[in-house]
Amino acid sequence: MPSTTSRRFPRTAALIGAAVLAASVAACGSADATPTTAPSASAPASAPASAAAGVLTIRDPWVKAADKGMTAAFATLVNDGDADVTITGVTTDVSRAEIHEMAMTDGKMAMRQKQGGVVVAARSQAALEPGGDHLMLMDLTRPVRPGDQLDVTLTFADGRTQTFTAVAKPFTGAQETYAPGHGASPAS
């Protein structure tokens, strides 16, 4: 007849094995992973990403649909961290891109590249919106149609990056014009 010690061993081994398996699965989502993305545009707006999802939480990202030339991307950037975050660059696969602002020039509102980037203060948020700061997409390599999803990558002052997806939609709200010639490459 087997002793009670030998009957307990398989049970103990199974419990230890289950604990190790659970710990390894939990480690897949640990802080050791380098966060590079925020929730996609398909995620519900009411489900913000946790701090582990990226440098910032990106809410309601979208891009203005355009057939050619220029357009812009917008979102609300949320910094849940304890330190200010500065966005210094932006890239996309459909165009070259810059961080832009609207500012008074010679008594008129004009669009221009934003020097120093966009600072999102700690425990705060910043809006990228029509008529304000925005991500300018210039020299489109293809049309951006309503419903298209564009990957946009932000570069931060500390060298980190974060990619999010913005959905294209038609928009005429602020009546801004992203006309060829503004910030475009010199004519060849």
Alpha-carbon span 66 to 144, nearest angstrom? 5
pLDDT value of residue 1: 54
Write out the two tokens for 144.
């951006």
Given a cut of 80, is residue 59 above it in pLDDT?
Answer: yes
Compute the average pLDDT of residues 57-86.
97
Alpha-carbon span 174 to 147, nearest angstrom? 20
Three-state secondary structure string covering the chain: CCCHHHHHHHHHHHHHHHHHHHHHHHHCCCCCCCCCECCCCCCCCCCCCCHHHCCCEEEEEEEECECCCCEEEEEEEEECCCCCEEEEEEEECCCEEEEEEEEEECCEEEEEECCCCEEECCCEEEEECCCCCEEEEECCCCCECCCCEEEEEEEECCCCEEEEEEEEECCCCCCCCCCCCCCCCCCC
b/e map 73-82, b = 16+ CB within 10 Å: bbbbbbbeee
Global pTM reads 0.66
pLDDT value of residue 171: 84
pLDDT tens, residue by residue, 120-174: 999 999 999 999 999 999 999 999 999 999 999 999 999 999 999 999 999 876 4
Alpha-carbon span 134 to 125, nearest angstrom? 14
Identify the residue with better confidence: 49 or 126: 126
pLDDT value of residue 2: 53
Write out the two tokens for 52.
């582990």
Given a cut of 60, is residue 186 above it in pLDDT?
Answer: no
pLDDT tens, residue by residue, 101-112: 998 888 898 999
Given a cut of 70, is residue 8 above it in pLDDT?
Answer: no
Mean pLDDT for the chain?
75
